[in-house]
């Protein structure tokens, strides 16, 4: 990760330093700007404290984003031309990879500043077809079904699981897949456990971070 402070977007919150993370796979490279990677408990505390101070924690790079990004890059044929909904996109790495492989991607987050950086990152990677949308899981108004729902580090709040369940139930196409980068210590809510009905059998929690061996767990 290299210092990229000169590329900080000018926002109503002022300029803030950003760092560059580069994902390389299969001869390709993607890069996202972020306010800092959350690698340790101390980083996490800092990101959460920053939120209360000034910056939303979605601007940080959560390592869980790296796992689905690798996975998507590995499975290009399954994403090309398919509809993809990204929840809690943050800095946007998985959706950017999917879009660059030819998926039709909608990246969503509830935070305006986060969506701004997500868009900025998309533009830096030359993905032009992505739709960026401010959307809150607790007031979801979209029932368009897509082949994939992706997300990373979005399972940390158990109170939000029923909302996520409803979105999986209403937005996933028949036979579609959910690929989630897990938040450490936070499992995906059990499929069908909240009265939202079964979601099909193609659900994976993607557990690979960085370049390590892939592990997938059926949910």
Residues in contact with ligand SAM by CB under 6 A are: 56-58, 61-62, 64-65, 88-91, 109-111, 114, 136-138, 152-154, 160
Residue nearest to ligand SAM (CB): 58
- Closest distance between ligand SAM and the C-beta of residue 181, in Å? 6
Q: Are strands 28-34 and 83-87 parallel, antiparallel or unpaired?
A: unpaired
Contact call for residues 71 and 209 (beta carbons, < 8 A): no
Contact call for residues 150 and 95 (beta carbons, < 8 A): yes
C-alpha closest to that of 196 among 159, 157, 169, 160: 169
Nearer to ligand SAM, 71 or 153 (CB): 153
- Closest distance between ligand SAM and the C-beta of residue 21, in Å? 10
- Closest distance between ligand SAM and the C-beta of residue 205, in Å? 14
DSSP SS3 for 101: coil
Half-sphere exposure (CA, 13 Å, Cβ side) for 61?
24
- Closest distance between ligand SAM and the C-beta of residue 89, in Å? 6
Residue 194 forms beta bridges with which residues? none
């Amino acid at each position: 990760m290299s210092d990229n402070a000169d590329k900080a977007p000018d926002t109503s919150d002022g300029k803030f330093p950003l760092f560059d993370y580069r994902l390389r796979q299969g001869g390709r490279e993607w890069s996202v700007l972020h306010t800092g990677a959350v690698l340790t408990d101390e980083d996490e505390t800092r990101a959460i404290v920053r939120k209360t101070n000034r910056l939303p924690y979605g601007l940080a790079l959560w390592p869980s984003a790296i796992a689905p990004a690798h996975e998507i890059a590995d499975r290009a044929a399954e994403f090309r031309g398919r509809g993809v909904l990204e929840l809690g996109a943050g800095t946007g790495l998985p959706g950017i990879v999917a879009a660059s492989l030819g998926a039709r991607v909608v990246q969503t987050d509830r935070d305006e500043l986060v969506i701004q950086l997500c868009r900025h990152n998309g533009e830096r990677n030359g993905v032009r077809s992505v739709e960026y949308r401010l959307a809150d899981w607790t007031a979801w108004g979209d029932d368009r079904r897509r082949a994939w729902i992706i997300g990373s580090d979005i399972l940390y709040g158990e109170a939000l699981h029923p909302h996520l369940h409803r979105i999986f139930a209403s937005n996933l196409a028949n036979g579609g897949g959910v690929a989630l980068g897990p938040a450490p210590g936070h499992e995906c809510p059990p499929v069908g456990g909240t009265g939202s009905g079964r979601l099909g059998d193609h659900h994976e929690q993607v557990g690979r971070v960085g370049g390590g061996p892939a592990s997938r767990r059926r949910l």
